[in-house]
Amino acid sequence: MNTDFIKGVVVPILTPIDAMERIDEARLRDQVDYVINGGVSGILAFGSNGEFYMVEEDEMERGLKIMVDQAAGRVPVYFGIGAISTKKCCHLARMAVANAAAGISVLQPMFLKPTYQELYLHFKTIAESVPDVPVLLYNNPGRVGYTLTADLVDELAHTVSNIVGMKDTSGDITLTSEFICRTRDTGFKVFGGKDTLLYASLCYGAVGGVCTAANFMPELITDVYNKFIAGDLRGSLEAQFKLNPVRLAMDPASFPVAAKDMSMLRGRDMGLPYRPTLPTPEGAVKEGFRRSMASAGLL
């Protein structure tokens, strides 16, 4: 299985919606072009910032078709799966593959806290439902309440042939390094999942990052990666230091409001989050967005 394309900055693309809470096709197509022109190496449909938890399955399929069509082979489009049920995950995986997703990304089940063996069988079963397609694990303990362990990832990487990589959003660089260290003999591809740790993840051997802020400042995120790959470590680190205040300014806002608000500040209307009654940040929080973005030369 060729996994050479699994690398670089992958954007968990925002899902623009209209007043009827349907995906806004024109805005989504424009966002696909924007991030590709900004230098990203891949698009993750319906990741956390893509609000997978709010989108109905038929809309997910429609959105994926739009993204694949608009990307037109310029970059791979991955499909994010965040369902709890193994059966539903398998169904979504097959749907994604039928619609030309280049790979799938699977979040560990939320709300539940499965045992080691239950998690192993969960991921193994999903991967076996799409045996010819690359499967990436998605570790996000901050959202689901527990982490994937290095032992589990090690076993999955060595025993399930099409589980070929992961995104680690733990923010624990020691854990990220363990994922990389234990699987490096298999060609397993680890992405950093924290924008602020892209440089650090690359130093340990990550193949790239899945970066939220690539939705509204792709040129700065990709600068970290491109300079690192070119051997300009000092330049890469300086780019990391430049973007970090912008990314950290997002934290006082309710997830995932900040990414859409920061996009708006750059003149990119991504619509409201899928919770239309949720107000966007105002006052000190929004001023923090503006100040950090202005300091980074984004406004």
Q: Give the separation between CA 144 and CA 65, rounded to whole angstroms.
A: 28
Buried b (16+ CB within 10 A) or exposed e, 11-22: bbbbbbbeeeee
Q: Give the separation between CA 114 and CA 95, rounded to whole angstroms.
A: 25
Q: Which of 34, 78, 138, 199 is catalytic?
A: 138
- Token pair belonging to 168: 């680690």
Burial label, 290 (beta-carbon count in 10 A; 0-12, 13-18, 19+): middle
- The one-letter amino acid code at 155 reads E
Is 124 labeled as catalytic in the residue annotation?
Answer: no
Q: Transcribe 254-281 into DSSP letters.
A: PTTHHHHHHHHHTT------S-TTSPPP
Q: Is the sign of the CA dihedral 28, 29, 32, 33 positive or negative?
A: negative
Q: Give the separation between CA 210 and CA 48, rounded to whole angstroms.
A: 11
Is 7 labeled as catalytic in the residue annotation?
Answer: no
Q: Which of 34, 78, 167, 225 is catalytic?
A: 167
Burial label, 115 (beta-carbon count in 10 A; 0-12, 13-18, 19+): exposed
User: Coil, helix or strand for 165?
Assistant: strand
Cβ–Cβ under 8 Å, residues 272 and 15: no
Q: Give the separation between CA 277 and CA 260, rounded to whole angstroms.
A: 15
Residue 173: how many other CB atoms lie within 10 Å = 16
Catalytic center residues: 138, 167
